[in-house]
Amino acid sequence: MLTPHIPQIPLETPPLSTESIESDSTSSNTLTVGHSPATYSLEMTILSQIPHRFRPLVCFFLTLSIGLLVAPWAARAATITDVADAADHISIGDYQESNPFDFWFGPEFEFLSASGKITREPGSGCLESNARDCLPVDELQWAQTQTKMNFKMQAGIYHDLALTLKIPVIFGDSRKFDYAGGVTASNSSIDPDNGNPEETLFNHNYSSNHKGLDDIELGLRYAPLSDIRDESKPNWVVFINWAIPRGSKVYNPTEDSSKSDKPVGDGVHRTTFGTSLSKRVGSFGLVGIDDKLHRRGYLDPYMEFSYTLPVPEQDLANRSQVKTGSNSFGTPPSHTAKVQAGVEIVPVENIKKQQKFAVDLRFVSEYHSEGRNFSILTDPLGELTYTEQFVDIGAQAAIVGQPHRFVQLMLGFSVDYRTEHFVTSENIGRDGDGNGVVDDVDVDEFNPYFCGNDADDSCGAKGIRASESYDQIGFRFKNEEHVFWTIFSGISITL
């Protein structure tokens, strides 16, 4: 999937299922609820901006979410560890109800806004004798907005085992550039006004837009432990998700450069492996006293760890990302590892009526390794660029309400910061004779993706020598002050 990379917090929004709750159950196939019942399926989302024609629909969900805050609520286990159930039943006191099958589905809407600054190493002024002169200087400022809908489904297969499906559609993903503060045509290295158009890398006011179906994601979730079935244990979930690039049109920066609406796919299979833990606590001496109080503790702390492995498909992904015998400099996109930690505060809950109101607060950190990616400069430069490693750090807050056992609504906000990193940082090649430089075509191997190594690439076409390429140390571009925030809202129906 093509990302600007704006972090994105993966969440599912399953409503409360009819599964159950308590610890004195005599059978592992039975979920019972006594004084401190239940689990709650709540998962948040990640989202981005809405164009005018979609705003009425989004406003409906936002208004409905807020309006439901005044209604009575109730609930289950922490969102991040909830799993659809099947072939089960619940027991609440002397009341029992069959739960043959859980099926959750519904849309989530995201609006994302991001901004940052592109700086560049000063080139000829960068000398080893004066490292201070090598500090990047301002070049451009940029802004991005993205509007997205994720249609999610989760279907129970057996006890705490479920299949998941996510279908993401990007309605618009726009990027706009302009000179940074204090930069004009007279001192810009990107779009200078010197009478020589060949020295213009791209227009300083460049803009682009992407839209379309993103990679469809299939997954499997399983909970080997549940504090619903055994109050002495935590909720523990393991999951695997596979993003399949076959459903989305792959974006080729060169071939699609003239299109007003560019595709969003990248031809890369991404498999995510993860695990999450939660445990309902915080009775505060109030839960378990009144037999008619069908709720559990007031706090549900949780953590989640996940890793995503990218595997470019040879005949589908951009050639620069596929390493083969004849393409030894092919490099896959970044690997990512994410950690989430937070707490779900549950002030109101009624497990018997399957109602709940909760506030979810979390911190998120996501590491991106170096790799050849669709970066913020891919569109204007017309090529994938080799980016340094970086980290996204953010916080998220959401409210989740379930006024009815079949309906769950969610509204949230997140803000993130991306650490500064070089976005054009290709290796010039491999030193074949051990002299410490790559300069001999007969002995050394030259990286064809290092701009300027090939007379037909974008640098060669403009007469830019490899020694002054934007991939060369001293001339590289850097992404700084990258901040993005997201508003998300969703509705989930359970059958």
Per-domain residue ranges for the chain?
30-426+471-494
Q: Given this model, what pLDDT does residue 10 score?
A: 39
Q: Would the pTM of this model clear 0.85, i.e. be above it? A: no
Q: Tell me the sheet residues that pair with 309.
A: 271
For position 13, what pLDDT does the model report? Answer: 40
Other Cβ atoms within 10 Å of 52 Cβ, number: 6
Residue 319 to residue 327: CA distance in whole angstroms:
8
Q: Which amino acid is at 299?
A: L
The CATH topology of domain 30-426+471-494 is Porin (2.40.160)
> pLDDT in tens for each of the 495 residues of the chain?
444 443 333 334 444 443 333 334 333 444 443 333 333 333 333 334 444 544 444 444 444 444 433 333 333 457 898 898 888 776 544 446 677 888 999 999 999 999 999 999 987 666 656 656 678 999 999 999 999 999 999 999 998 999 999 999 999 999 999 999 999 999 999 999 877 777 889 999 999 999 999 999 999 999 999 887 788 899 999 999 999 998 899 999 989 999 999 999 999 999 999 999 999 988 776 655 455 567 778 899 999 999 999 999 999 999 999 999 999 999 999 999 999 999 999 998 887 788 889 999 999 999 999 999 999 999 999 999 999 999 999 999 999 999 888 999 999 999 999 999 999 999 999 999 888 888 888 899 999 999 988 888 878 777 787 778 899 988 999 999 999 999 999 999 988
99, 494 contact by CB (below 8 A): no
What pLDDT, on a 0 to 100 scale, did the predictor assign at position 405? Answer: 84
At residue 126, the pLDDT reads: 67
- CA 253 to CA 321: how far, in whole Å? 13
* Rounded distance between C-alpha atoms, residue 427 and residue 448, angstroms: 10
Helix (H, G, I), strand (E, B) or coil at 464: coil
Burial class (CB in 10 A: 0-12, 13-18, 19+), 411: buried
Work out the number of other CB atoms within 10 angstroms of the CB of residue 468. Answer: 16
What confidence score (pLDDT) does residue 130 get? Answer: 61
Q: Give me the pLDDT at residue 9, please.
A: 36
Whether 446 and 427 have beta carbons less than 8 Å apart is answered as: no
Residue 81 and residue 218: Cα distance in Å, rounded? Answer: 18
Residues 453, 459, 464, CA angle at the centre, nearest 5°? Answer: 90
Annotate 93-106 with b (16+ C-beta within 10 A) or e (fewer): eeeeeebebbbbbb
Number of Cβ within a 10 Å radius of residue 41: 31
Residue 467, pLDDT score: 78
Each as own residue / partner, the long-range contacts of residues 49-53 (CB below 8 Å, 24 or more positions apart, any chain) are 49/110, 49/111, 49/112, 49/113, 49/145, 49/146, 49/147, 49/172, 50/109, 50/111, 50/147, 50/171, 51/147, 51/171, 51/172
Count of other CB atoms within 10 angstroms of residue 125: 11
434: which 2 tokens? 């051990």
Please count the other Cβ atoms lying within 10 Å of the Cβ belonging to residue 255: 11
Q: Give the integer Cα–Cα distance in Å for 71 and 20.
A: 23
Instruction: Give the model's pLDDT for residue 196.
Output: 76
Residue that is written with structure tokens 């090529």 in the block? 383
Distance from chain centroid for Cα 17: 26
pLDDT of residue 123: 76
Number of helices (H), then strands (E), belonging to the chain: the values are 3, 21
Sort residue 87 into left (φ over 0), alpha (ψ -120 to 50) or beta.
Answer: left
